[in-house]
A and B are shown apart, each in its own frame.
Chain A
Amino acid sequence: MTELAICTRQLTRRFGDATAVGGVDLNIARGQIYGFLGPNGSGKTTTIRMLCGLLTPTEGSVDVLGMRIPDEAEALRRRIGYMTQKFALYDDLTVEENMRFISRIFGLGRAQTTQRINELLEHYDLVAMRRRRAADMSGGQRQRLALATATLHRPELLFLDEPTSAVDPENRRAFWEKLFDLVDQGTTILVSTHYMDEAERCHELAILNLGQLCAQGSPARLMHQLGGRVVEVHGPKLRQAKDALLQLPQVQSAAQQGLALRVLLREPCQDAATILASALPGGEHSFEEARASLEDVFVASTGDNPHAERHQ
């Protein structure tokens, strides 16, 4: 196993009586993109804040880049970059002024600052925006500015909290290309998201729900583990069919997807077609085992419909 960038044991944070994060064990290897996938309120931001030393854990231990957090948080700050969920740069400063400010705070010299800023403006396609105030930029441009600023001091570890929430699909692709560039240079990235397609791009993934860690592993492995549990049902009157299928004890969930009904079984099952057909008399339906998607993984591990709490 490679050296760990982040290692937590029983990480817990309570706000009053409410547990925002409960007993999370994370092992995040260096040099990869690690995703936090979870609906609103699942504890993604709270976990990231604890990893950065911004929130003190109620219980549990945190080790980031070999440092005990929050005790050694101050030393950690020079080695990490953090892109907050809400845009945290100054609206009334220009792109360049924002970058220069953060650069100086991180102790980069004048020459180095200028060189880094030019480099990053070029790389993140912001050269034309140089003198534009952050307030006057589009969501995607602001996101790029925030990422560029978070990487000014070449951090070893980057925390990105829902970096693409205001970005269209095309720009999201471009944004992720930049993340892979950073990983190529040796950066470890922890990114939170509630988009399945983004989660699928991560090297490894943790699925969070209600502050609990529901599953951890590479997307491929997580999907593979669901082998034999996903069945697509074709036929007429899918809405009634769905209600009928949900009555079966073997069925965990069923959701309509276009012209098919996607059924998730509680256990892998050889004769799934026979069992499902028993609930749908008439023989009008056909059954076909399907490859599990990340959404299936999400549903299987949280026992929830991911759409239920997702905005968008």
Chain B
Amino acid sequence: MSAIARIGAVADKEFRQLSRDRITFGMVVMLPLIYLLLFGYAINPMVRDLPIGIVDLSGSAAVRAITEQVRVTQVVDIVATYATPAEAEAALIAGEVRAVLVFPHNLTQRLASGDVVAQWMVDGSDTMIGNALLGLREMPLQLEAGVPVGAYGPRKPSFEVALFFNPERRSAVNIVPGLAAITLTMTMILFTSVALVREREHGNLELLITTPIHPLELMIGKLLPYVLAGLVQLVIILGLGSVLFSVAFQGSLVHLGVVTVLFIVANLALGLLISTIAQTQMQAMQLTIFVLLPSVLLSGFMFPYEAMPVAAQYIAEVLPATHFMRLIRGVFLRGADSMQLLPDVLWLAAFTAIMLAIATHRFTKTLD
């Protein structure tokens, strides 16, 4: 009973302090809002409007049809035509264009025999661009069926190609739930990573550890107000995100709540652990960023989990953000419930328990 009273006392105190710290309080609301608007519109993993050049050595009528189809993908923007491949290469080196499409002399025969029709010369120095054009490389061959020379049967356009025509929608669908994961990772760890350090720096800790409070009560009391803050952030991101980017919510609110609270608590517990390691608020920030970056890069937010090397996948498996990314995409976009995603749910719960146990163990009520 008195344990609950003490947890309540700590939670109440933390909440009052949070509500008085205008910048932090503002961050709870403004950060998800700004991130959503900024990244929802700005991050577009689909590369668009790359400047390219054309070299036509064939003089064939098919060139026009093919280039037109390349253009409508919106991946490229045809800005120049060159007489020779050498000239085109110079332009590529100078950075005037990112790629050049070269049509050979024997284009007509190639089309007839189903051979490779043309060559892409690609600036591979930026891998994102390289990959985008690599995808494009396959495209004319697949869509080329409508072109007058009909020596072979038309292939069905694949799904990947269809995506080229709908880039914005797809990125928003991925980014909105992903942004929820990243924002929560950042703010939640940050809030609690300084929680104990601040008390130490302000001298409050010496008094606090002379009271009958148990370390676990202190930890739980410190988490509670931030769970609320995290839920507010989630509502902002998912709510506003679905409206602005017309991302349809498929799942149930209960399951969404369950997985989110689990994820929030996991991050808060990790923050508390950081707080027992760091001696100053500066160190706490550094440790937070140390955890944050892998969460952004490895959780599946930036790159698909399956595409990462096995070692990176192991690291990703530890991070709560990876599991939440799966959970929220599952629950929010595919309408899965938390039972269907049990392994991820269990890991978040286990992660929380482990972090809290270590943090509680590390937090001794002495100044030694």
Contacts and interface: CB of A to CB of B under 8 A. Distances in A.
A102 B367 CA distance: 20
B17 to A, nearest CB: 5
B202 A102 contact: no
B210 interface: yes
B125 interface: no
Interface of A: 49, 52-56, 70, 73-74, 77-78, 80, 82, 84, 86-93, 97, 100-102, 104-107
A243 to B, nearest CB: 45
Most chain B beta-carbon contacts within 10 A, residue among A52, A53, A105? A105
10 contacts: A54-B206, A54-B367, A55-B367, A73-B365, A84-B203, A90-B202, A100-B9, A101-B10, A101-B13, A107-B6
Contacts of A73: 365
Contact of A101 (B12, B209, B212, B368): B12
Contacts of B212: 74, 77-78, 105-107
A159 to B, nearest CB: 9
Nearest to A146: B207
Interface in B46-90: none
Nearest to B221: A105
Contacts of B210: 52, 54, 77, 80, 82
Given A54-B206, A54-B365, A107-B2, 18 more contacts: A53-B365, A54-B210, A55-B367, A56-B366, A70-B366, A74-B365, A77-B212, A88-B203, A88-B207, A90-B17, A90-B204, A91-B202, A92-B20, A93-B16, A101-B10, A105-B212, A106-B211, A107-B5
B228 to A, nearest CB: 19
Nearest to B210: A82
B225 interface: no
B187 to A, nearest CB: 20
Q: Is the interface of A mostly helix, strand, loop or mixed?
A: loop
A56 B368 CA distance: 7
A100 B6 CA distance: 11
A53 B206 CA distance: 11
A90 B13 contact: yes
A87 B21 contact: no
Contacts of A93: 13, 16-17
B368 A55 contact: yes
A101 to B, nearest CB: 5
A230 to B, nearest CB: 40
B130 interface: no
B251 interface: no
Contacts of A87: 203
A84 B203 CA distance: 9
Contacts of B208: 88, 105
A92 B213 contact: no
A49 B367 contact: yes
Contacts of A56: 366, 368
Contacts of A90: 13, 17, 202, 204
A189 to B, nearest CB: 16
A104 B207 contact: no
User: What 4 pairs between A and B have smallest CB-CB spacing?
Assistant: A104-B9, A88-B207, A86-B203, A82-B210
A204 B13 CA distance: 39
Given A70-B366, A97-B13, A89 B204 contact: yes
Contact of B204 (A82, A88, A97, A106): A88
Contacts of B203: 84, 86-88
B8 interface: yes
Contacts of B206: 54, 82, 84, 86, 88
Contacts of A54: 206, 209-210, 365-367
